[in-house]
Amino acid sequence: MARPVLLDVETQIAVITLNRPERRNAINQQLLIRLYDALDAVTVRDDVRVIIITGNGPSFSAGLDLGAIGKENLFDPRGDGSDLPDLMRACKKPIIAAVNGHAITGGFELALNCDFIIAAENAQFSDTHARVGIHPGWGMTQLLQQTVGQRRAKQISFACQPIYAHTALAWGLVNEVLPREHLLDRAKTIAAQIVQADPQLLGVIKTLIENRNRGPLEQAFDKERSGFKQFLRDKISKFKPS
């Protein structure tokens, strides 16, 4: 049996590939276990600076495997209390979603939990929670409106209709759209550019940007300014005569 998730690391870039193409990379317990293990691994590996998540075959992920619901432990697949959004937030390294095809419901949420998304021309995004009767749990109701605005988020989640790549680009859901055959190479090019940044400061900037999601503008702004003042104090102390 093929491994449901692949992990490859090269030149400080980790590529995590969902690998159930025969099921459109639908999410079952074994896929979640391997995905969680891969996220844990890249979070602590010193030879990894950037992570790319993509899918094998025509789909990024079709979401939860309906055949696994009620039969497999999808809420706590490893039995350790880990949950996908928590694992992704715990990773201070940039995570890029390279969406190669359908990103549906849970697959859509997986992409939304990444730092940003680039998409193939054939990609489409669908929130079908309301249609199939599955309660969202990985951030759909919050992350989608944060990305495209509340009114568009309501349209996507109420109508359950696919949003195609170029509409997703116009709505700010994805950063770039390009031919499918160039998608992974482009993701690796962006990742290689990120690798050139100072790793410590990159983590700080990632956290500062995300602070805006957790509180009002003034509070997030104050954290940036206080960090800058501390940076200057540290620099000055290095030049003081002993």
pLDDT tens digits, 141-183: 999 999 999 999 999 999 999 999 999 999 999 999 999 999 9
Pairing between strand 13-18 and 5-10? antiparallel
Helical spans, DSSP H, in 160-198: 165-170, 183-195
Say whether pLDDT at 217 is over 80. no
**Banded pLDDT at 239 (limits 50, 70, 90):** low
Say whether pLDDT at 75 is over 70. yes
What pLDDT score was predicted for residue 242?
53
What pLDDT score was predicted for residue 226?
83
Give CA–CA dist 18/76, Å, rounded.
19
- Look at the pTM and tell me if it is higher than 0.75: yes
**Banded pLDDT at 214 (limits 50, 70, 90):** confident
Indicate the range of 24-38, 181-195, 206-220 predicted with least confidence: 206-220
Sheet strand arrangement including 5-10: 5-10, 13-18, 50-55, 95-99, 116-120, 176-178
Q: Quick one: which of 79, 91, 20, 21 has its CA closest to 52?
A: 91
Residue 5, H or E segment:
strand 5-10
Higher pLDDT among residues 211 and 157, named by residue? 157
What pLDDT score was predicted for residue 240?
59
* Mean per-residue pLDDT of the chain: 93
Which token pair is 49?
Answer: 């600076």
Give CA–CA dist 202/131, Å, rounded.
40
Give CA–CA dist 171/181, Å, rounded.
23
Say whether pLDDT at 82 is over 70. yes
Cβ count near 7 (within 10 Å): 19
Write the CA distances from 150 to 56, 116, 143, integer angstroms: 31, 19, 10
Write out the residue limits of the CATH 3.90.226.10 domain(s) in the chain.
5-195
Say whether pLDDT at 95 is over 80. yes
Say whether pLDDT at 37 is over 90. yes
Q: State which fold the 5-195 domain adopts.
A: 2-enoyl-CoA Hydratase; Chain A, domain 1 (3.90.226)
Percentage of the chain surpassing pLDDT 70? 96
